[in-house]
Amino acid sequence: MNIKINNKENIYLSPYTPMTRGFALYLKDFHNITIKGYIDNTKDETNVYNPLDIDNLDIDNLIILSPNWDREIYDNLSKFIDNKKLTIITKEDNSYKIKDLSVKLIDKIMLKILDKLFKYFNIQVTKLWTNRIGEFCLENEAFLDKIKNDKSYQNQNFILLSYQNEKDIANKTLYDMYRMVFKKHKNIYLFESNFINKYFQYLLDKKFIQKKYICKIEQKSNAYELFVNKKPIIEFKKQDIIKGEKLLQKLNINDPFVCVFARDSKYLDSTFEYHDWRYHDYRDADIDTYELAIKHLISKGYTVVRIGKVVNKKVSFKHTKYIDYPYSDFQSDFMDIFLISQCKFIIGGTSGLVDICGAFSIPRIGVNHIPIDHSPYSSNKDIFIPKKLIYNNRYIGLQEYLSIIKNSDLSYWDSNTYKKLNLMIEDNTEDEILWLVKEYLGDYSYNDEDRLNQRKYQKIHLKSEQFKEVLTNIGSDFLKKNSWFIE
């Protein structure tokens, strides 16, 4: 770290995010520096202050760490504190460096050239989010669909920036599969040079070029129709299929097989050091609660494969037709994707790895889904059950939850939100997971009550701001035994 900080100074960080919390841990562990607090005008936490409170704080150095909004934050905070006390830093290759805010002569010349080129050739630039497997997959799917069906995208040229450091790519096989698709499009140019990409990213930080030429690849829940009706965009080559089938034999995985996954914190904590990922903990689940469902699937002739790259623990259940793949000698980026692409269906919660099934139109049995209005949309056969929320010692239904979260103005993608709202989270039980699997397999007899419950659920679900267009059915047995959910 080339930042000179005196451990006797009063250091504050901005904004209050998992990244800055991770940086605070880094300062404490490696430099024996304890920060005094955070400056953030959107968060309400202990030791987090509004910029309006700066005059009442003794601040020697206010450090800004925010890859996407650092300049905007700097401009805003400079209204409340002397610029000499403000420092923007960046993180590159596990090293923190001071960001140079000056625009050099060569940069000014380049900006003028790029401005003319981008305008003349109708160019938009974006950076691929390669380090998170779910976002990378879903956003690429949505982007490529727009390239195919949206005339405004077809009339533009796109430069995709992609760093090639191994640590920046969550799954090399998935990356290579999308790379092959990008290269088939005449209006997509994939830049894979670290030097060029870093310079582009540096230039794009300049306000005027960022606003005019940045294209954000976003995947929204209204992509439901895309995923439930789509044909796979990415596919394995014939030689890769042969390779994968040989590895299936070595793993003793026989067809038909299904994949199961329970999210835990091990992967992110071990992969991204000094980044505080606790805000994702609300999505965690215990793989052992899948045991009854696994036994039932095996009794029906399925081989069950637990997937994952790095996981907290082995499953206590043992059987020749149950494969704890993360602990095998054959775990690899290739097999992570191949298993999902070839399975009959997948069972899992709200997780990026499970999202991959959408790229291959593999049906999804969603368990422990949260936010509770976040239903899956990988195929038209999907079905799910949410986690349960407890407020004031009672379970709350979907309608009450939507009202609470809407009035809170808080993000439902953050563990801290549930704590702030005094919402206790309860995972699905073994029986709930088992009965959802039975329902998917057809081992459940629907009646008029079930059909009425589904209609009640969909009517309330339409009030969800972000997921109202997702029409996936919720588990009928779950609704019958938890009628409060649709009250």
Question: Closest by alpha carbon to 161, among 20, 273, 67?
Answer: 67
Domain edge (last residue) among 98, 125, 156: 98
Q: Kindly state whether residue 5 falls inside one of the protein's structural domains.
A: no
Both 236 and 322 in a single domain? Answer: yes
Both 306 and 209 in a single domain? Answer: no
Both 368 and 399 in a single domain? Answer: yes
Q: Which residues, in sequence order, are CB contacts of 341 under 8 Å at separation 6+?
A: 236, 360, 362
pTM, rounded to two decimals: 0.80
For 135, the token pair is: 């976002």
Q: What is the 3-state secondary structure (H, E, C) of 361-402?
A: CCCEEEEEECCCCCCCCCCCCCEEEECEEEECCEECCHHHHH
Domain edge (last residue) among 170, 196, 219: 219
Q: What is the largest CA-CA distance in the chain?
A: 74
Both 90 and 115 in a single domain? Answer: no
Q: Is the pLDDT of residue 6 over 70?
A: no
Both 189 and 243 in a single domain? Answer: no
Q: Kindly state whether residue 6 falls inside one of the protein's structural domains.
A: no
Confidence grade of residue 306 (pLDDT, cut at 50, 70, 90): very high
pLDDT (average), residues 256-267: 83
357-408 pLDDT, tens digit per residue, is 999 999 999 999 999 998 888 888 999 999 999 999 999 999 999 999 888 8
Both 32 and 62 in a single domain? Answer: yes
Both 68 and 173 in a single domain? Answer: no
Domain that holds residue 127: 105-219
Q: Kindly state whether residue 238 falls inside one of the protein's structural domains.
A: yes
The whole-angstrom separation of Cα 357 and Cα 337 is 9
Q: Kindly state whether residue 2 falls inside one of the protein's structural domains.
A: no
- Chain centre distance of CA 363: 19
Alpha carbon of 81 to those of 55, 84, 144: distances in Å?
Answer: 8, 8, 44
Average pLDDT value for the chain:
86
Both 255 and 343 in a single domain? Answer: yes
Both 27 and 114 in a single domain? Answer: no
Q: Kindly state whether residue 1 falls inside one of the protein's structural domains.
A: no
Winning range, highest mean pLDDT, from 3-17, 150-164, 328-342, 417-431: 328-342
Both 450 and 341 in a single domain? Answer: yes
CB–CB of 288/316 below 8 Å? yes
145-184 pLDDT, tens digit per residue, is 888 888 888 889 998 888 666 777 889 999 999 999 999 9
Specify the CATH number for the domain of residue 87. 3.40.50.720
Helix/strand/coil for 95: strand
Specify the CATH number for the domain of residue 278. 3.40.50.2000
Both 248 and 382 in a single domain? Answer: yes
User: Could you give the number of structural domains in the chain?
Assistant: 3
Q: What is the pLDDT of residue 75?
A: 81
432-464 pLDDT, tens digit per residue, is 999 999 999 999 999 999 999 999 999 999 999
